[in-house]
Structures are given as C-alpha cells and as structure tokens.
Amino acid sequence: MRPPKTTLSFLRSSDATTDLKLIVRLAMAKKLRILLHYTHKQTLGHTTRTISLATSIVDHHATKTSLLLLQGGALQPLIEHPKGYRLLNIPFPFDTRDSFRSRSIPQRTTERAAFILKAAQEFTPGVFITEFFPFGRSAYIPELLPALRYLRKTGCRIIASIGYPLIIDLIRLQDRQFAAVYKALLSFYDAFLIHTPEQLETPYFLRSIASKEIADLYTATLGSIRKKMIHTGYIFPRRILTPTKNDGLEKLPPAPNTVIVSRGGGAVYPKLIVNAIQAQKLLGKNFRMIIACGPSTSEKEMSLFKQVLKENKGSPILLTSHLSDLDDHLRTCQVSISLCGYNTSVQLMRHGTPSVIVPYSNGLSRMPTNDQIARAALLQEKFASTVLSYDTLTPRSLAQAIRARADRPRPAPAPLSWFQGARTSAKIIVEEA
C-alpha cells in the first residue's frame, strides 16, 4: 500500500474533520493562533482535560485566538467537541486501551510526523501546546520532534500542559543517552503548566517512589525546569460525553443511599464492576447503585457485566456505558466507587464526596509509582477516602467499605481556589504569548 504524500491533501479523508482551505483561512486571521496536540489511550482523562482547557481559551479569549486541536489517538465517538475551535485527527493512531498493559509500538511514524509538521507549517501558530508530553508519551518523540524543531526556529512559544507532576520515564533517565535526548527535549519548552495546586501533589509523588535513587532523579529533573514550571490549580472537567439514555434510572427503587460506581474511560479493572454488582446483594435495600462501565468497555466485558447482573436479579442497579452527568451524580451521591484518575479525583475533592477508591497500578510497569497511587494517598489523608487494592478486592470487602464510608461524616470540600486551572492556564497561554 502506497503511503500518503507528505501534504495536507489527505485532510479531506474520513480521518479529518477540517481541510487545508480552513487551516489557511484560520492562519490568515489576525488572531493568536494556538495549536494544541493531545492523545489518549481510549480513556477520558487526557481528552477531558484538553477539551476543558480548549473551551476555556475559547470562552474567555475568543476574539483574540484561533485554536486548532491535533488529536493523535483513536476516534472517540461518544465525545462531543464544543464549537469555537477546530479538530484535526492525525492519521494512523496506534495508542489504544491495550497500551495500559504494554508499551505501544509506534506505527507509521514517518507519515504522522509529516502530517503534524505540515499542519504546523500551514497553521503557523504563535503558541504550540503538547498535552502530557514530554512528561509522558515518550513514544511520540519521533513524530513530534520535527514540528518542535521547526516551531522553535519560527519563534513560536512552546508550552506543555501537564495534569500532574510525574515524569513517566524516570527509570529511562538512568540511561545517559536517553537522558541527553530528554534534556534537549525539555529545552524546547518555554513553560510547563502543571494543573494542580502548588506543592499539593508533589510530596505525595515523591513519597510514593520507594527507590531513593529514582526519588532523587525525580527531584533533580523537576528542579532543572523549576523556573519554567507554573502550577495552575486543577482543571475541573466539563461535560464532554453525549447525553446518556438512562431509561432505567427512574425505575430504580428509592433508597437512603445511592452509590455511584465509575471506572473512567473503561480501559482497565473490569473486576471492579463485577465486584460492585455482587456487593449490592450484600448491602441490602438501603443501597442502590448506578454503575458507569466506561465508553471504551469492550463488548465481551459488557456481556460479562450483564450476565453477572442477571445472576443478581432484582438488585437495585442501573448499568450503563457512561454518565454524561457524572458530576451531578458525584455531587449528590452518598458514596462514590472509582479508580483514582485525575478527573474523578478532582470532582470528589470539589464536592467532598465520600469515596472508596481502587487506584490503578500496572504490575508490568518498571516505574515504581504512578499518578493514581500518589493521588490515592492524598485523598486518603485529606478527604478520608477508603483505599482498596484491586488484587485483593472481593464483593464482601467492597460492601464493607461502602457501608462504613456511608456511616461516616462527609469530608469538607476543597477550597474553590484549587479549581481555577482552566481559566488560569488560558490566561497564561493567551496573554503571555
């Protein structure tokens, strides 16, 4: 099969949602042109944070900016992009939900790199933003490097939008060759926007790294870019999913306690859903459950969940792929059951929602920590969350945790000042360009 030409003529294919004429027209407008690159692993965290940031730029600076999103992952059909910016899908996506278990092997890197570079050349941005990269997604170095080099020479301001202060490839930094490449990569950036309150999460990340050598490397690496780091506060997630047809919600019998079970995008931890369904039987009529399995739940998984639900016939449970109004449910429920991803954790803190969390941990990863492990410790200490291990999770242990958490007072919500990340970041991006 002949590879596509290194031109944006293939923007007119089904893989794109804009075309070359549109990019040129945007480039001619006398506005600050912002090019924002993001990708995902069929989860909601990075997509939600990116859309929330993009929407804040549009909402508060529409007359000053033209915004183009470069999306590098597989299409997410349940995502609703608001008006006000344009979306361009990079062809040949290779990062999927399977990436959580093992590193994805980059595919069609040459074509993807040419596509990104050509988009940058045609759009001529004054600001280029990469989401999560270079703190994570090192597999994207080959396809992003040509555009970074080109834009650096044009005087474009280069910014990283980082959800949490963890460098995923800390262990690889022990290799001198990779460390040299990474140091050069960091030098391209004018600013690193860390979307957490200052010094709130960093101590928990440092504490969660058991190896002193890696912990020292973490401290040193962050120290090397400290003058460029700006803590913006959390980016509160906006609604991005298509409305849910929860026809069974009104049929759920009333109960003193509503439990919301969610697993983010649905890429990992299917046993959480199975255990939740089985735990409901142990909880009795004082509890009812609304379970969101996640938009990327596979057909095989959903079939399993429905079979387990059928075996627990009569349980007051609503099973759905996603909840577009999840934030409303988390604000009003008695207990939340979830992983410890960025978006859900931010909502739990904002609303002071009693929670039982099962932080994700990849046993195949060489990295001794991740953001969910560190954030779980924060939620446990500051918001009295109950933390359970996925490996030892049972319906009984989950039911006991739910009942105990429902009987305790609600934690105090975090201050509103923690959640100004989207607006603060938008102001920095636009006004300091």
- At 107 the pLDDT is 82
- At 34 the pLDDT is 98
Does residue 135 sit within a domain?
yes
- At 10 the pLDDT is 35
Please say if the pLDDT value at position 15 is more than 70: no
Based on the fold, state whether residues 271 and 136 are members of the same structural domain: no
Report cis status (omega within 30 of 0) of the bond before 134.
yes
Based on the fold, state whether residues 275 and 393 are members of the same structural domain: yes
> Domain limits at 218?
8-238+419-431
Does residue 327 sit within a domain?
yes
Does residue 99 sit within a domain?
yes
Q: To which residue do tokens 């057909």 refer?
A: 299
Please say if the pLDDT value at position 16 is more than 50: no
Q: Which tokens hold the place of 96?
A: 């999927």
- At 9 the pLDDT is 43
- At 289 the pLDDT is 97
Strand order in the sheet with 86-89: 86-89, 65-71, 32-38, 127-131, 157-162, 191-194, 229-231
Q: Dump pLDDT digits (tens) for 101-112.
A: 666 667 899 999
Distant-in-sequence, close-in-space partners of 323: CB < 8 Å, separation ≥ 6? 241, 244, 246, 260, 262, 290, 292, 329
Based on the fold, state whether residues 195 and 272 are members of the same structural domain: no
E-only strand ranges, 44-97: 65-71, 86-89
The Cα 139–Cα 95 span in angstroms is 9
Does residue 284 sit within a domain?
yes
Based on the fold, state whether residues 338 and 322 are members of the same structural domain: yes
Please enumerate, as own/partner, the contacts of 365-372 that have beta carbons within 8 Å and a separation of 24 or more: 366/171, 367/168, 367/170, 367/171, 368/208, 368/209, 368/210, 368/211, 368/214, 369/166, 369/205, 369/208, 369/209, 369/210, 370/166, 371/163, 371/164, 371/166, 371/205, 371/340, 371/342, 372/339, 372/340, 372/341
Question: What does the DSSP 8-state code read for residue 20?
Answer: H
Q: Dump pLDDT digits (tens) for 140-186.
A: 999 999 999 999 999 999 999 999 999 988 989 999 999 999 999 99
Based on the fold, state whether residues 196 and 269 are members of the same structural domain: no
Q: To which residue do tokens 């969390």 refer?
A: 357
Average pLDDT taken over every residue of the chain: 90
Mean pLDDT of 109-125: 97
> How many independent structural domains does the chain possess?
2
Q: Dump pLDDT digits (tens) for 272-306.
A: 999 999 999 999 999 999 999 999 999 999 999 99
Based on the fold, state whether residues 28 and 70 are members of the same structural domain: yes
Q: Please give the helix or strand (H or E) that residue 290 lies within, else none.
A: strand 287-292
The Cα 214–Cα 202 span in angstroms is 14
- At 43 the pLDDT is 87
Based on the fold, state whether residues 77 and 91 are members of the same structural domain: yes
Does residue 2 sit within a domain?
no
Please say if the pLDDT value at position 11 is more than 60: no
Would you place residue 100 in the very low, low, confident or very high pLDDT band (cuts 50, 70, 90)? low
Would you say the pTM of this structure is higher than 0.85? yes
Q: What is the CATH number of the domain that holds 354?
A: 3.40.50.2000
Does residue 390 sit within a domain?
yes
- At 3 the pLDDT is 41
E-only strand ranges, 32-138: 32-38, 65-71, 86-89, 127-131
Based on the fold, state whether residues 122 and 220 are members of the same structural domain: yes
Q: Dump pLDDT digits (tens) for 179-231.
A: 999 999 999 999 999 999 999 999 999 999 989 999 999 999 999 999 999 99
Based on the fold, state whether residues 292 and 389 are members of the same structural domain: yes
Task: Evaluate whether 76 touches 177 at the Cβ level (below 8 Å).
Answer: no
Would you place residue 243 in the very low, low, confident or very high pLDDT band (cuts 50, 70, 90)? confident
Would you place residue 25 in the very low, low, confident or very high pLDDT band (cuts 50, 70, 90)? low
Q: Which sign, positive or negative, has the C-alpha torsion 362, 365, 367, 371? A: negative
Mean pLDDT of 323-346: 96
Alpha helices in 201-321 (DSSP H): 202-208, 212-224, 270-283, 299-311
Please say if the pLDDT value at position 17 is more than 60: no
- Position with higher pLDDT, 334 vs 244: 334
Does residue 3 sit within a domain?
no
Based on the fold, state whether residues 225 and 362 are members of the same structural domain: no
Based on the fold, state whether residues 226 and 79 are members of the same structural domain: yes
Q: How many CB atoms lie within 10 A of CB 227?
A: 9
E-only strand ranges, 152-256: 157-162, 191-194, 229-231
Tabulate helix, strand, coil % of the chain (nearest 5).
45, 15, 40
Does residue 216 sit within a domain?
yes
- At 30 the pLDDT is 79
Please say if the pLDDT value at position 84 is more than 90: yes
- Position with higher pLDDT, 9 vs 148: 148
Q: Which tokens hold the place of 316?
A: 């007051």
Based on the fold, state whether residues 193 and 150 are members of the same structural domain: yes
Q: Dump pLDDT digits (tens) for 356-411.
A: 999 998 776 767 788 999 999 999 999 999 999 999 999 999 999 999 999 999 99
